[in-house]
């Protein structure tokens, strides 16, 4: 009976006027969804436009940089040779006809002298604003090669990679051990120590900065990469917390099975916990990469000679020295943000699903 | 049966504790060497005149007295608090609202999330350099954009009155990091609560106001505390945009930048340590204030179960 009744009620629903439908529940939901999507899209445009501007600026030449306002697509004026000089070409409307003409001279009141390149002796005085300048896409990829060689990119990249990956190895090694210790063992004071560890997240780094600098200075490590790498071997609160949360979700039965087979606690970590925790390890590794790659404060303090700089410091100095070369600065900046972006797209799920932050709540 | 033997049980507990301490040893050592030790040392330095070359000379509370008389200290504190007063509430509202929107079933939601989180992975020098070009009054894109609405944009980074608002705009562009955390919080709200509210006839707004908002207050709290600490660490962007000077006319001399200048430009290590401890005290005080207030507005699910 019900199956017959359904199409019958659907007929009057369809014949209802649109305004009725719009104020109905279904219509409201659709309207709300459309507005939501529009707002989200507008916000997304706000985020993307600066990045497009960066990319566009990185492939412009000096003349294109002087365009104000700057086009988001790198355009350049088309020129034509008139009497031995390059003049900008315009699409000119005259007597109802459209012709291509070159602007050879500016006149008062926004007017200009135009000529047909084929017949340069005949000039026409026209209002410039009423004509459209002919532009074409002009992309200078060579800016990249030029920028990278000017800033001595290879040495900067090498230092950054050493700092990033040596530090990552140290972080993964130490944080796995510490997170394992905090997740699987009972010991006096261990919970208090875990709270102490967590509280260091809120500690402003400045209170330990200067003595740490003095300490590394005494060791003769200032102006080497070591102060950026070695502390990573002593674990940090964020990553220990994340790994511990994950380790806690691995069933204890797995540990017990291994223990019955005679595995030591270290073997349990290596052969049971770590293989299970691969997603969490990948996550903290990615976050470490982003942190180390973008870090500026510590490299700025510890690295003095140009041959020891990381990309962040090198790029900042490159800008300080050659700020006028905006196209080169932006090209170098694009190269600097490319690895994080590629990594981000490869590991998108980790960010968009927010899996790792499930432990944050409460 | 054997395990209940007191001596054997005792030795097993001791062994377990020994393993625990062995595993957390890297952090314990690091904590002593890179946190506790330096904290004590910097507290000592704050009472000395120290230029890193000569041995520290005890000068009592002179650094603190000088600091409180230092016009630039007050200025840098004011700039930092002013910036925090804009960035924290605005960032909170914007990132929370975006997270709520991104939590809806809209077409292409994964693509949108990808776009919104993008700025948080590219933070740093490159982005600061990009914004220095965006804010350029003549060759940038912000003022032409404002001109579309008939607004004549200011000189931004070259205008002492507009440099801080410029930094606020730049920071708001990269709120993606807190959006991720809010989104995780929103996804953690149990759906049966929404179902129950629907059954009771709650409207969309009522469901948001009485279910979503209270259930996500812990995440708001977390972001607020970390945001506050982050504000006092604010450095890279302002260093890059002002070449480390905090210009124009010292209008962007943030607390952390002034501390950096004292420590690593003038090598007034004692004075900079004093600044660090004053900063620590302020941040601790403000954090405790937020913690105190959290009883009123932060809702923990566990509390209900406990009653």
Q: What is the DSSP string of A32-66?
A: HHHHHHHHHHHHHHHHHHHHHHHHHHHT--HHHHT
What mean pLDDT do residues B81-108 have?
92
B212 and B250 in a single domain? The answer is yes
At residue B20, the pLDDT reads 95
Q: Find out whether B101 and A324 touch, Cβ atoms under 8 Å.
A: no
Q: Which residues contact A138 (CB under 8 A, 6 or more apart)?
A: A60, A61, A64, A74, A75, A76
* pLDDT band of B295, cuts 50, 70, 90: confident
* pLDDT band of B3, cuts 50, 70, 90: low
Give the chain A residue whose CA is nearest to the CA of B145: A69
The two structure tokens encoding residue B24 = 């957390």
Q: Name the one residue in this structure whose structure tokens are 């807190």.
A: B178
B19 and B112 in a single domain? The answer is no
Helix, coil or strand: residue A151:
coil
* pLDDT band of A67, cuts 50, 70, 90: confident
Q: How far apart are CA A102 and CA A104, in angstroms?
A: 6
* pLDDT band of A360, cuts 50, 70, 90: very low
B20 and B137 in a single domain? The answer is no
The two structure tokens encoding residue A57 = 């600026």
Here the CATH number for the domain that contains residue B180 is 1.10.3720.10
Residue A212's H or E segment, with its range, is: helix A206-218
Residue B115 has its nearest CB partner, among A44, A211, A326, at A44
Q: How far apart are CA B23 and CA A177, in angstroms?
A: 5
Judging contacts by C-beta atoms under 8 Å, the chain A residues touching residue B269 are: 210, 214
B150 and B8 in a single domain? The answer is no
* pLDDT band of A348, cuts 50, 70, 90: confident
> Is there a domain that residue B55 lies in?
no
What mean pLDDT do residues B231-258 have?
92
B251-260 pLDDT, tens per residue?
A: 999 999 999 9
At residue B157, the pLDDT reads 93
Helix, coil or strand: residue A94:
strand
| Residue B218: pLDDT over 90 | no
> Is there a domain that residue B52 lies in?
no
**Which residues, in sequence order, are bridge partners of residue B58?**
B48
B104 and B11 in a single domain? The answer is no
What mean pLDDT do residues B194-204 have?
88
* pLDDT band of A110, cuts 50, 70, 90: confident
Q: Find out whether A332 and A318 touch, Cβ atoms under 8 Å.
A: yes
> Is there a domain that residue B205 lies in?
yes
CATH architecture of A144-359: Orthogonal Bundle (1.10)
Q: How far apart are CA A218 and CA A72, in angstroms?
A: 51
Q: Name the one residue in this structure whose structure tokens are 């606020």.
A: B168
Q: Name the one residue in this structure whose structure tokens are 């100095």.
A: A317
> Is there a domain that residue B53 lies in?
no
CA distances, B307 to each of A299, B243, B293, B301, B302 (Å): 51, 56, 21, 11, 9
Residue A167's H or E segment, with its range, is: helix A153-184
Q: Find out whether A66 and A107 touch, Cβ atoms under 8 Å.
A: no
Residue B161, phi then psi, degrees to nearest 5: -80, -20
**A23 compared with A176, residue with greater pLDDT:** A176
Residue to substitute from B10, B16, B17, B26, interface A, most A β-carbons within 10 A: B26
Alpha helices in B71-190 (DSSP H): 71-102, 109-121, 125-134, 142-147, 163-173, 176-187
* pLDDT band of A359, cuts 50, 70, 90: very low
Q: For A56-60, B56-60, B181-185, which range has the lowest pLDDT when averaged over its residues?
A: B181-185
Helix, coil or strand: residue B154:
coil
| Residue A72: pLDDT over 50 | yes
Judging contacts by C-beta atoms under 8 Å, the chain A residues touching residue B181 are: 354, 357, 360
Q: For A107-111, A224-228, A236-240, B52-56, which range has the lowest pLDDT when averaged over its residues?
A: A107-111
B125 and B198 in a single domain? The answer is yes
B151 and B32 in a single domain? The answer is no
| Residue A40: pLDDT over 50 | yes
- Is there a contact between A296 and B125 if contact means CB atoms under 8 Å apart? yes
| Residue A76: pLDDT over 60 | yes
| Residue B179: pLDDT over 50 | yes
B20 and B152 in a single domain? The answer is no
A137-187 pLDDT, tens per residue?
A: 889 999 999 999 999 999 999 999 999 999 999 999 999 999 999 999 999
What mean pLDDT do residues A19-46 have?
83
* pLDDT band of B104, cuts 50, 70, 90: confident
Q: Find out whether A57 and A327 touch, Cβ atoms under 8 Å.
A: yes
B31-40 pLDDT, tens per residue?
A: 999 999 999 9
Q: How far apart are CA A256 and CA B23, in angstroms?
A: 18
A-B CB pairs within 8 A amount to 283
At residue B189, the pLDDT reads 87
Q: What does the mean pLDDT of chain B come to?
A: 90
B41 and B70 in a single domain? The answer is no
Which among B88, B27, B145, B104 is positioned nearest to A201, based on CA atoms?
B27
Q: How far apart are CA B118 and CA A9, in angstroms?
A: 48
Q: Which domain holds residue B178?
A: 66-306
**A132 compared with A300, residue with greater pLDDT:** A300
CA atoms within 13 A on the CB side of A165: 6
| Residue A36: pLDDT over 80 | yes
* pLDDT band of A87, cuts 50, 70, 90: confident
Give the chain B residue whose CA is nearest to the CA of A288: B121
> Is there a domain that residue B164 lies in?
yes
Judging contacts by C-beta atoms under 8 Å, the chain A residues touching residue B180 are: 351, 354, 357
B40 and B156 in a single domain? The answer is no
CA distances, B10 to each of A198, A259, B37 (Å): 30, 19, 34
- Is there a contact between B240 and A265 if contact means CB atoms under 8 Å apart? no
Q: How many domains does chain B have?
A: 2
Q: How far apart are CA A32 and CA A35, in angstroms?
A: 5
Which among B182, B35, B66 is positioned nearest to B120, based on CA atoms?
B182
Q: What does the mean pLDDT of chain A come to?
A: 87
Q: For B189-234, give the DSSP string.
A: S-HHHHHHHHHTT--HHHHIIIIIHHHHHHHHHHHHHHHHHHHHH-
**pTM as predicted:** 0.87
- Is there a contact between A210 and B272 if contact means CB atoms under 8 Å apart? yes
Q: For B240-265, give the DSSP string.
A: HHHTTS--STTTT--HHHHHHIIIII
Residue to substitute from A42, A193, A204, A221, interface B, most B β-carbons within 10 A: A204
B193 and B127 in a single domain? The answer is yes
Q: Where are the domains of chain A?
A: 2-55, 75-137, 144-359
Q: What is the CA radius of gyration of chain B?
A: 25
Q: Which residues contact B282 (CB under 8 A, 6 or more apart)?
A: B77, B232
| Residue A55: pLDDT over 90 | yes
CA B297 to chain A, closest CA, distance in angstroms equals: 13
**Which residues, in sequence order, are bridge partners of residue A105?**
A113
Residue B126 has its nearest CB partner, among A47, A202, A315, at A315
Q: For A7-16, A93-102, A274-283, which range has the lowest pLDDT when averaged over its residues?
A: A7-16
Residue A85's H or E segment, with its range, is: strand A85-94
């Amino acid at each position: 009976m019900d199956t017959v009744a359904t199409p019958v009620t659907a007929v009057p629903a369809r014949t209802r006027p649109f305004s009725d439908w719009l104020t109905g529940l279904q219509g409201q939901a659709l309207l709300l969804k459309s507005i939501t999507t529009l707002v989200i899209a507008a916000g997304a445009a706000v985020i993307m436009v600066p990045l497009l501007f960066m990319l566009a600026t990185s492939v412009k030449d000096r003349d294109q940089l002087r365009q104000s306002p700057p086009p988001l697509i790198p355009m350049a004026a088309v020129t034509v040779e008139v009497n031995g000089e390059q003049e900008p070409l315009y699409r000119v409307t005259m007597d109802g006809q459209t012709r291509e003409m070159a602007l050879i001279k500016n006149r008062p009141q926004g007017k200009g002298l135009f000529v047909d390149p084929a017949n340069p002796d005949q000039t026409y005085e026209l209002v410039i604003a009423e004509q459209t300048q002919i532009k074409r896409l002009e992309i200078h990829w060579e800016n990249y090669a030029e920028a990278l060689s000017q800033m001595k990119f290879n040495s900067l990249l090498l230092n950054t990679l050493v700092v990033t990956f040596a530090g990552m190895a140290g972080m993964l090694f130490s944080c796995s051990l510490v997170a394992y210790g905090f997740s699987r063992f009972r010991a006096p004071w261990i919970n208090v120590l875990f709270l102490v560890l967590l509280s260091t997240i809120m500690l402003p780094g400045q209170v330990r900065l200067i003595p740490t600098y003095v300490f590394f200075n005494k060791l003769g490590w200032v102006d080497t990469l070591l102060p950026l790498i070695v502390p990573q071997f002593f674990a940090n609160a964020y990553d220990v917390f994340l790994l511990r949360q994950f380790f806690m979700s691995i069933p204890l039965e797995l540990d017990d099975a291994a223990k019955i087979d005679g595995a030591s606690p270290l073997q349990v970590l290596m052969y049971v916990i770590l293989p299970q925790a691969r997603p969490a390890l990948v996550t903290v590794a990615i976050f470490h990469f982003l942190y180390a790659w973008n870090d500026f404060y510590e490299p700025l303090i510890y690295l003095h000679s140009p041959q020891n700089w990381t990309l962040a410091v090198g790029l900042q100095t490159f800008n300080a020295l050659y700020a006028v070369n905006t196209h080169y600065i932006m090209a170098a900046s694009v190269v600097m943000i490319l690895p994080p972006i590629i990594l981000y797209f490869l590991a998108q799920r980790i960010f968009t699903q927010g899996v790792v932050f499930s432990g944050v709540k409460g | 049966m054997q395990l209940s033997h007191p001596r054997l049980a005792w030795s097993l507990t001791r062994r377990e504790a020994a393993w625990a301490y062995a595993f957390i040893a890297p952090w314990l050592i690091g904590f002593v060497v890179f946190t506790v030790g330096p904290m004590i040392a910097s507290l000592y330095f704050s009472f000395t005149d120290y230029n890193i070359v000569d041995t520290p000379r005890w000068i009592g509370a002179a650094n603190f007295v000088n600091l409180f008389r230092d016009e630039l200290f007050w200025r840098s504190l004011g700039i930092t608090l002013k910036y925090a007063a804009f960035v924290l509430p605005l960032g909170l509202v914007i990132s929370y609202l975006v997270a709520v929107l991104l939590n809806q079933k809209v077409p292409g939601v994964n693509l949108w999330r990808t776009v919104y989180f993008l700025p948080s992975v590219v933070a740093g020098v490159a982005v600061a350099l990009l914004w220095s070009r965006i804010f350029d009054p003549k060759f940038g894109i912000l003022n032409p954009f404002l001109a579309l609405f008939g607004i004549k944009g200011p000189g931004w980074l070259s205008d002492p009155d507009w440099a801080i608002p410029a930094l606020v705009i730049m920071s708001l562009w990269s709120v993606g990091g807190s959006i991720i955390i809010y989104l995780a919080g929103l996804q953690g709200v149990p759906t049966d609560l929404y179902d129950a509210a629907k059954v009771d006839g709650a409207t969309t707004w009522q469901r948001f106001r009485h279910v979503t908002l209270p259930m996500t207050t812990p995440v708001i709290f977390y972001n607020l505390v970390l945001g506050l600490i982050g504000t006092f660490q604010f450095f890279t962007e302002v260093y890059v945009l002002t070449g480390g000077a905090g210009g124009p006319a010292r209008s962007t001399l943030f607390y952390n930048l002034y501390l950096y200048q004292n420590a690593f430009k003038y090598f007034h290590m004692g004075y900079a340590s004093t600044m660090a401890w004053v900063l620590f005290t302020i941040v601790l005080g403000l954090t405790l204030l937020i913690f105190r207030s959290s009883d009123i507005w932060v809702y923990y699910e566990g509390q209900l179960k406990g009653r």
